[in-house]
Amino acid sequence: MSVIEDVLESNATSNDKLALLDALRAIVPEQAVLHEEEDLRPYECDGLSAYRRLPWVVVLPERVEQVQAIMRVCHQRNIPVVARGAGTGLSGGALPHEHGVLLSLAKFTSILNIDVANRSARVQPGVRNLAISQAVASLGLYYAPDPSSQIACSIGGNVAENSGGVHCLKYGLTVHNVLKLDIVTVEGELITVGSDALDSAGYDLLALFNGSEGMLGVIVEVTVKLLPIPERAQVLLGVFDDVEKAGTAVGEIIAAGIIPAGLEMMDTLAIQAAEDFAHVGYPVGAAAILLCEVDGTNEEVSEHVMHVREVLCACGATEVRTARDEQERIMMWKGRKSAFPAVGRLAPDYYCMDGTIPRRHLAQVLKRINELSREYNLPVANVFHAGDGNLHPLILYDANQPGELARTEEMGGKILELCVQVGGTITGEHGVGMEKIDQMCVQFAQAELGQFHALKAAFDPRGLLNPGKAVPTLHRCAELGAMHVHHGQLPFPELERF
């Protein structure tokens, strides 16, 4: 391109941006439209800070009608839109588009209705996860899914990523705890999927939108299920001198017919970091600890505590502690929920992986992760939802060292591929986003990816919603050598545009 052509293109882009800003300011107050670099910087990444990109424009509506109008404006102009919640995601799913609008739902923070009789709550997408439980605690109710970031993460983002948490082994992921969604489509239409009843007619679009990563529509209202607070909850802490023994204990607890409310594992590095950070009395120097919470009536909790203790001892636990009261239970969990920020003190950077495997392969996979750690000379702190096989290896590195981020990403990719090899999946709750898009080519065949693209096209024919995330193009997979190409031609060439 010549210098003159370059200048002409730049002027055309500037004119397009000015016209867009005017259109957006006609919908929301001027201060709700951000376009100066210093105002855009806070939106350049989500919790996965390895990927950064400035948005073209950020807009902060506060009413559903404004979201609809914004979507219409962007659709008319073929402008990409990336919806953003609290920005706590860990897969680059909210990474902005350099020539698109970042649509922030940060002002949608109202709990609209609490229906005690039906044990449900209608909330806006910007409501914090923990705020729901806090709002209904006096009614003897709570919202079960509890990501480690629940103090900050928003319910709309939880739905977009199908978030999990410590207590999802027994009570399910976000998808199992949502009754209904209001969604604004790419054309600006408002639709409702799901219902207040236990079932609704037609295709199960509710499940489809849970985990859709903002690629099918913008969530503007969520109706969640509420559960009664259990009569009693108690935590046991098992101490192990061998990680594989702890992994075996996880399977044995489930095999004994006990479904804990939470079953978490941490290894030596994670234990040390959490104890230094939170001072909760964890056994520093242990190879691994298991945190097992059982809840229910007084009678069943007493029985399960005794049974879990027997299983832990039979599997080689060197010590078993039982929380004596509610305060001690909270402290035991505080260490686990502080693990991610605590590990951040061990190195300049860490890379949080998220894969899920069948429980029976826990010991084998943990052993292989340790081998990869030695091969790449990168320390790994393992802290994860052991009960449902959702791994969170935290790879410690220094992005200031040339090539170290690339080496870390390569090691992370091998961990995800290991999850697929043993019958698991490349994500459990963080989504795919940008981080794992190449591993999608490993997990899925061309026919499956073709169906994903066809589904995307049904909701978003032009590919304007969160483009370039979650589902790779077939061309990308072919370039990676992870997909079979027929006679030098890609299948479904019409789908390459996404």
Tell me the pLDDT tens digit for each residue of 232-277: 999 999 999 999 899 999 999 999 999 999 999 999 999 999 999 9
- Categorize the per-residue pLDDT at 315 as very low, low, confident or very high, splitting at 50, 70 and 90: very high
Q: Hey, what amino acid is at 260?
A: P
Structure confidence at residue 6 (pLDDT)? 52
Residue 148's closest CA among 169, 166, 131, 170?
A: 166
Q: Where are the domains of the chain?
A: 3-104, 111-228, 232-341, 347-421, 444-495
Contact 314, 307 (CB under 8 A): no
347-421 CATH fold: Alpha-Beta Plaits (3.30.70)
Tell me the average pLDDT across 87-107: 97
pLDDT at 130: 97
Mean pLDDT for the stretch of residues 154-171: 95
3-class DSSP state of 177: helix
Same fold flag, 232-341 and 347-421: yes
pLDDT tens digits, 286-308: 999 999 999 999 999 999 999 99
**Residue 265: both structure tokens together:** 């594992």
DSSP notation for 345-402: TTSSEEEE--EE--GGGHHHHHHHHHHHHHHHT--EEEEEBGGGTEE-EEEEE-TTST
CATH number of the 232-341 domain: 3.30.70.2190
Eight-class DSSP state of 489: B
Q: Could you tell me the pLDDT band of residue 86, with boundaries at 50, 70 and 90? A: very high
Which of 129, 104, 108, 113 shows the shortest CA–CA distance to 180? 113
Alpha carbons 457 and 465: distance in angstroms, whole number? 11
Report residue 189 CA to chain centroid gap: 27
Taking the C-alpha atoms of residue 58 and residue 65, their distance in angstroms, rounded to an integer, is 17
Condensed to tens digits (0 to 9), the pLDDT of residues 42-68 reads 999 999 888 999 999 999 999 999 999
* Mean pLDDT for all residues in the chain: 92
Least confident of 160-164, 166-170, 298-302, 477-481: 477-481
Residue 8 is predicted with a pLDDT of 35
Question: Which of the four pLDDT bands, split at 50, 70 and 90, describes residue 1?
Answer: low
Fold assignment, 3-104 = 3.30.43
133: pLDDT strictly greater than 90 = yes
pLDDT at 90: 93
Cα distance between residue 48 and residue 155, in whole Å? 19
Please state, in angstroms and rounded to a whole number, the distance separating the CA atoms of residues 363 and 385: 14
What does the chain come to in residues?
A: 498
pLDDT of residue 483: 47
The CATH classification of domain 111-228, taken from the options 2.70.50.30, 3.40.50.720, 3.30.465.10, 1.20.120.1200: 3.30.465.10
Q: By the 8 A CB rule, do 264 and 166 touch?
A: yes
Model confidence at 498: pLDDT above 60: no
**pLDDT (tens digit per residue) in 379-408:** 999 999 999 999 999 999 999 999 999 999
Greater confidence (78 vs 197) lies with 78
DSSP character for 41? G
Place 494 in a pLDDT band, splitting at 50, 70 and 90.
Answer: very low
What is the pLDDT confidence band of residue 199, given thresholds at 50, 70 and 90?
Answer: confident
CA-based nearest residue to 264, from 203, 330, 337: 337
The pLDDT of residue 493: 42
Phi, psi of 130 (to 5 degrees): -65, -30
- The pLDDT value recorded for residue 11 is 52
Q: Mind listing the pLDDT tens digit for each residue in 355-364?
A: 999 998 998 8
209-235 mean pLDDT: 98
Rounded average pLDDT over 62-80: 98
Whether pLDDT at 485 is above 50 = no
Rounded to whole angstroms, how far apart are CA atoms 335 and 364?
26
For tokens 């702190």, what's the residue?
381
Q: What is the pLDDT of residues 432-445, one digit of tens each?
A: 999 999 999 999 99
How open is the CA angle 486-490-492, to the nearest 5 degrees? 115
| pLDDT tens profile 180-189 | 999 999 999 9
The band of 198, judged by pLDDT with boundaries at 50, 70 and 90, is confident
Residue 15, pLDDT score: 85
Surface-to-core class of residue 29, CB atoms within 10 Å of its CB (0-12 exposed, 13-18 middle, 19+ buried): exposed
